[in-house]
Chain A
Amino acid sequence: MADIQLSVRDLQKTFHPGLFEASVEVLKGLSFEVTRGEIFGFLGPNGAGKTTTIKAITEIVYPDAGEISICGMPHTSLEAKRRIGFMSESPYIYRHLTGREYLWFGGELMGLERNGLEDRISRVLDQVGMSGRADRTMGTYSKGMLQRVALGQALLGEPELLILDEPMSGLDPVGRRDVRDIILKQAAAGVTIFFSSHIIPDVEMICDRVAIIVDGRVQAIGTVSELISDEIVGYEATFVGALPADLRTTLESHHVASGASWVRVTTDNRDTLIRELGDRGAQVVSIEPVRSTLEDLLMRHYEEGGS
């Protein structure tokens, strides 16, 4: 049996905003498991329940029902909390502290040995590329710098399980690459990563397995290749010239630019399209199969979920 680092079973949560507002059922029996050493993507649209799940795991909200365990221990135990590093969705920071003081505060809360803590902080600051700016107050930091320091405090305790909620949102391309590299380096060192995001390319690029969450439930779970089978869902053709006005083939989408046309058809309509283009003597540049993507899958579940 695989070594389970994080187990979430049948998690349910309803928020009751107030006397005159309707209750909101955010989590509707959500279950998944994350095994040791993997990068687990938690993918879903905004409002799907991703952040609430993470808040439940980190004991910031209390689920109505369900079980959560971290490294085989109840998530509420202090020992379980010692094993995790957490970076929240937006970097919630103390404007009055410097980056270095913030990490020291995190170290104190984690109960890390004071002897050597200064060196450990310097190492982490170096790792997240903040060594040169660690002694400025965080009120002066840019969003990217805040993300880096927040990631630094998550790494400070050398966690077994790193929980990252939208770690790349709001970052410029350089920042995204740096954060991605840090995550991959942690994974290579054996740290289990729980990576929550609504940005599909980020998830596709770095995750070993992905859970798609829509409307408070896990809709699909597996490796990226398992989820997006090799099934061909359509064809895309590019040919020189404008789109013939009398084309009878049903097009899913089309686009004309720079003297060339691009069309997309379903698998069933491929042959009809080829025949019609041949009849009109169109100069076909390419006809390529379209395979389903994670985005297609997410959109399908999103639409089925009626969100």
Chain B
Amino acid sequence: MRAVLAIAANTFREAIRDRILYLFIGFAVVMVVSSKLFGMLTVGDETKIVKDIGLAAMQVFSMLIAVMMSMILISREVDSRTVFNILAKPVRRWQFILGKYLGLVSIVAANLVLITFVLMLTVLVVAGEFDFMLLFAGAMTMLEMLVLAAFATLFAVLTRPILGSLMTLAVFVVGHMSADLWLLTRQLPGALTRTLVAVVYYLLPNLERFNFRTEVVHDLAIPSAAVGWAVLYAIAFVAVVLFLANLRFRNKDLK
């Protein structure tokens, strides 16, 4: 486990010394803070609008950081061949994959903590009180990012960085359209088309399972069973996808 943590720590350190991360974080913070402006300009409950836009910004920028940093940090390690020095040491390939993944999710987590904090402060300014449910929304976004980062890791070992980024982005978009995919499997003409859509539906994660934005924004009750299932769902997907990434990387010749 020490090698895994060393690789994770090195990945985290590499990211926090990279200017591009701060660019993303800066945009995210500006977006969250400026949600107050949207609240002022829009008809409706200002607090709810601030929360809604803030949570959406939190999700989108966390996704962008997960996608970009995974491609930069994993592909760079292979392309610049620094991975040679790791694998020549008493380190298994799965430890490398797991270490890179943990390093990546720790970057996303640090970013999420910061954005959640900024959003809570913005809501405090608007509503005059802390909304601790935003912490819950942040945690659920983190669960979603755990799944997405696992896919990003898989694509980083499968293909080139740009294609990998696009594929991860596709998982994010399609993952939020799972309900529509399900409807398509019922309504599309032609058995083959329906089967193909069904395969995509079952292979890709339903990221809407982690979306509790409506409940948090409108102070609705959150069913604990749904939260429990979301946690189990994330764990299962992360385990399977990282297993596949290891399967691909395990016997891969590095040139």
Q: Which of A45-64 contact B (CB under 8 A)?
A: 55, 58-62
The answer to whether A60 and B89 have CB atoms under 8 Å apart is no
A150 to chain B: closest residue by CB: B85
Contact of B89 among A55, A92, A106 (CB under 8 A): A106
CA distance A15 to B84 in the complex (A): 18
The answer to whether A15 and B253 have CB atoms under 8 Å apart is yes
The answer to whether B90 and A111 have CB atoms under 8 Å apart is yes
CA distance A82 to B7 in the complex (A): 17
CA distance A93 to B253 in the complex (A): 20
Q: Which of B57-110 contact A (CB under 8 A)?
A: 80-82, 84-92
The answer to whether A60 and B84 have CB atoms under 8 Å apart is yes
Per-residue B-contact encoding for A73-84, CB less than 8 Å = 1, 0 else: 000001101101
The interface residues of chain A lying within 8 Å CB-to-CB of B92 are: 78
Asked if A207 is at the interface of the complex by the 8 Å CB criterion, the answer is no
Per-residue A-contact encoding for B6-19, CB less than 8 Å = 1, 0 else: 11001001100110
The answer to whether B3 and A109 have CB atoms under 8 Å apart is yes
Contact of A105 among B10, B18, B80, B251 (CB under 8 A): B10
Asked if A5 is at the interface of the complex by the 8 Å CB criterion, the answer is no
The answer to whether B87 and A58 have CB atoms under 8 Å apart is yes
Asked if A86 is at the interface of the complex by the 8 Å CB criterion, the answer is yes
Asked if A126 is at the interface of the complex by the 8 Å CB criterion, the answer is no
Asked if A96 is at the interface of the complex by the 8 Å CB criterion, the answer is yes
The interface residues of chain B lying within 8 Å CB-to-CB of A163 are: 88
Per-residue B-contact encoding for A138-156, CB less than 8 Å = 1, 0 else: 0000000000001001000
The interface residues of chain A lying within 8 Å CB-to-CB of B253 are: 15, 55, 60-62
CA distance A153 to B18 in the complex (A): 24
Q: Which of A133-174 contact B (CB under 8 A)?
A: 150, 153, 163
Contact of B84 among A79, A92, A109 (CB under 8 A): A92
The answer to whether B2 and A108 have CB atoms under 8 Å apart is yes
CA distance A108 to B84 in the complex (A): 16
Asked if B225 is at the interface of the complex by the 8 Å CB criterion, the answer is no
Min distance, Cβ B231 to any Cβ of chain A, angstroms: 31
- SS class of chain A's interface: helix, strand, loop or mixed? mixed
The interface residues of chain A lying within 8 Å CB-to-CB of B7 are: 109
The answer to whether B81 and A109 have CB atoms under 8 Å apart is no
The answer to whether B85 and A92 have CB atoms under 8 Å apart is yes
CA distance A105 to B10 in the complex (A): 8
B3 to chain A: closest residue by CB: A109
Asked if A110 is at the interface of the complex by the 8 Å CB criterion, the answer is yes
Min distance, Cβ B243 to any Cβ of chain A, angstroms: 20
B251 to chain A: closest residue by CB: A62
CA distance A153 to B89 in the complex (A): 11
The interface residues of chain B lying within 8 Å CB-to-CB of A88 are: 81, 84-85, 88
CA distance A111 to B18 in the complex (A): 27
B16 to chain A: closest residue by CB: A96
Contact of A58 among B3, B10, B18, B88 (CB under 8 A): B88
A58 to chain B: closest residue by CB: B88
The answer to whether B90 and A60 have CB atoms under 8 Å apart is no
CA distance A110 to B255 in the complex (A): 23
Known: A15-B253, A93-B82, A97-B13. A86 touches B88 (CB 8 A): yes
The interface residues of chain B lying within 8 Å CB-to-CB of A86 are: 84-85, 88-89
Q: Please give 4 more A-B residue pairs, beta carbons under 8 A apart, in addition to A55-B253, A109-B91, A110-B89.
A: A96-B18, A108-B2, A108-B6, A109-B3
Residues of A within 8 A of B (CB): 15, 55, 58-62, 78-79, 81-82, 84, 86, 88, 90, 92-94, 96-97, 101, 105-106, 108-111, 150, 153, 163
Top 4 A-B pairs, shortest CB-CB distance: A108-B6, A58-B88, A86-B88, A78-B90
28 A-B residue pairs with Cβ-Cβ distance under 8 Å, sorted by A, are A55-B84, A58-B84, A58-B87, A59-B87, A61-B253, A61-B255, A62-B251, A62-B253, A78-B92, A81-B90, A82-B90, A86-B85, A86-B88, A88-B81, A88-B84, A92-B80, A94-B14, A94-B82, A96-B14, A96-B17, A96-B18, A97-B13, A105-B10, A108-B3, A109-B3, A111-B3, A111-B90, A153-B85
